[in-house]
Amino acid sequence: MSTTLIEITSKQRNSNSWEEPFFINMGPQHPSTHGVLRLVLELEGETIVHCDPRIGYLHRGVEKLAENLNYNQTVVLSDRLDYIASAANNVAFCLAFEKLFGLEVPRRAKLLRTIVGEMARISSHLLWLATHALDIGAMTVFLYCFRDREWLLNIFEKICGARLTHSYVRVGGVRLDFTQEIIDELYKFTEEFPNRILEYETLIDVNRIWLKRTIDIAVVTAEKAINLGLTGPVLRGSGVPYDVRKFRPYDAYSEVEFEVPVGERGDTYDRYKVRMKELRQSNWIIRQCLDKLAETKGEPVLAEGAPDLLIPEKIKEPEPKPHPKKGFIFTGKEVDVVPPGEAFASIESPKGELAVYVVSDGSNKPWRLRIRTPSFVHISAIPELSRGYMIADLIAIIGTLDVVLGDCDR
């Protein structure tokens, strides 16, 4: 608050008129800033003149921590970034590390990763819809969405034992195979879920108040969106069909069919529509992957040569010398765990493009791990998007950007 007061006084000193700008400090504790986002707003009436997001309240220094943990431990950190869709984060980290290690993931593991990635997308989008609608005031949608998200989380629990921070994906594959029970449950889910989407849409799709609150709010042109670095559904809402799953396919996305829905006007309603269509596409992808899983039954889910959970500092190259008494002794020279170099991997996380850039120095820990998270970029765009709109619209804008502060602050 003190900084805000300083700003007020300095503004007063510099301004010619006597009017004091009306500052409001939204957050870090506020019902609709989705965590600990703090926005310092300068208002004129209820219109936003300037908005200055202050982040860092959830800064845990994941990038620094990763430099002191080994690669498999780092994957666990990734759960805590975007805790709504942690499976997607796991995938991004593992893809980058696998590039470093030079591992080829087995097909079944790829399919499983695709499934959990899309499940994460559905659960993230459901949470987004729930909170977005709640922010605008439609309370019932919230609980409808949570009902179905609960189902999905229960399936996650069956898959890996955790509901939120899965760490299911690991370097070189996945941790566990699906049991038949999970596959049956997922079939049931994919069967039922399209009807559930219809349910949400009946509630708000043509609701006059919903339309009034979302149409022509926070319009971003395609060019502007690219310039602002927006990705994911927000960019596609502006009509740019950029989807990492199509442009740089990873995992099993090259072998499944799906469409990339795009919007036209680039307003909040279009982004809502895009996400609703994505829910259906994700459902369709899961369905296809489940069918393909049957073909690969019994295949391994972890690549050969995948690093152990506790990666040693240096590996001793086994040079099997016959020992007169003990059989073999390993007196090889020490070699690097992973070749030094750098790797970059990006995925289409539910919120946008999640990119991981990792530099290695040959030891078991990353030398530098850079995480480009979509929420970070999206929050940086809030001042540009919210200028000239009202406070009530700002809520809709935060909602439509779908930010998670754990993802933003890292």
Partner 1 sequence: MDFNSLYIILSALVLFLLAMFHVAYLTYAERKIIARMQQRLGPNRVGPRGILQPIADVLKLIQKEDIIHPGVDKPVFVMAPLISLVCAASGLAFIPLWENFVLSNLNVGLLFILALSSLSAYGVILSGWASNSRYSFLGALRASAQVISYEIAMSLSLLSVVLMAGSFNLQDIVKAQLSTPYKVYLIPQIVAFFVFMVSALAETNRVPFDLPEAETELVAGYFTEYSGIRFALFYLAEYFGMIVMSALAVTCFLGGYAGPFEIPGIPFFWFLIKIYAFLFFYIWVRATLPRYRYDQLMGLGWKVLIPLSLLNLLVTAFIKLLI
Partner 2 sequence: MEELYKEINERFSKFLLKLEEKDCPVITVKREGFLDFIEFLKDFGFKHLIDLCGVDYLNYKPEKKEERFEVVYHLYNFEKRALIRVKVPIPESDCWQYSLTFLWETSNWFERECWDMFGIKFKGHPDLRRLLMPEDWEGFPLRKDYPLYLEEDKEWKGYKELKRKTKGEHS
Site residues for partner 1 per CB under 8 A: 22-25, 30-32, 46, 133-140, 142-144, 147, 203-204, 207, 209-210, 212-213, 390-393, 395
Site for partner 2 in 48-77 (CB under 8 A): 55-56, 59, 61, 63-65, 68
Work out which of 142, 146, 284, 357 binds partner 2, going by CB under 8 A. Answer: 357
By a kind-dependent CB cut-off of 5 to 8 A, residue 140 interacts, out of partner 2, partner 1, none, with partner 1
Beta bridge partners of 353: 348
Given a contact cutoff of 8 angstroms between Cβ atoms, the answer to whether 62 and 73 are in contact is no
Residue 37 binds partner 2, judged by CB under 8 A: no
Count of CB atoms within 10 A of residue 286's CB? 24
Beta carbon nearer to partner 2, 3 or 154: 3
Residue span binding partner 2 (CB under 8 A) among the ranges 32-40, 104-112, 227-235, 285-293: 227-235
Q: How far is the CB of 32 from partner 1 (least distance, A)?
A: 4
- Rounded distance between C-alpha atoms, residue 91 and residue 93, angstroms: 6
Phi-psi region of 156 (alpha: psi -120 to 50; beta: other; left: phi over 0): alpha
Q: How far is the CB of 132 from partner 1 (least distance, A)?
A: 10
Structure tokens at 227: 């310039």
By a kind-dependent CB cut-off of 5 to 8 A, residue 136 interacts, out of partner 2, partner 1, none, with partner 1
Site string for partner 2, 228-257 (x = CB under 8 A): xxx---------x-x----xx---------
- Rounded distance between C-alpha atoms, residue 356 and residue 93, angstroms: 6
Given a contact cutoff of 8 angstroms between Cβ atoms, the answer to whether 40 and 33 are in contact is no
H or E stretch at 197? helix 180-204
Structure tokens at 40: 């310092």
By a kind-dependent CB cut-off of 5 to 8 A, residue 392 interacts, out of partner 1, partner 2, none, with partner 1
Three-class secondary structure assignment of 326-377: CEEEECCCEECCCCCEEEEEEEEECCEEEEEEEEECCCCCEEEEEEECHHHH
Burial of 183 (0-12, 13-18, 19+ CB in 10 A): middle
Beta carbon nearer to partner 2, 243 or 267: 243
Among 107, 246, 242, CA closest to 174: 107
Beta carbon nearer to partner 2, 30 or 248: 248
Site string for partner 2, 272-311 (x = CB under 8 A): ----------------------------------------
Residue 409 binds partner 2, judged by CB under 8 A: yes
Q: How far is the CB of 38 from partner 2 (least distance, A)?
A: 12
- Rounded distance between C-alpha atoms, residue 146 and residue 408, angstroms: 23
Q: How far is the CB of 157 from partner 1 (least distance, A)?
A: 21
What's the residue count for the chain? 410
Residue span binding partner 2 (CB under 8 A) among the ranges 12-20, 162-170, 374-382, 388-396: 374-382
Packing angle, helices 180-204 and 268-295, rounded to 10? 160
Give the binding site for partner 2 (CB under 8 A): 3, 55-56, 59, 61, 63-65, 68, 99, 226-230, 240, 242, 247-248, 340-344, 346, 353, 355, 357, 359, 361-362, 367-368, 370, 372, 376-377, 379-381, 384, 409-410
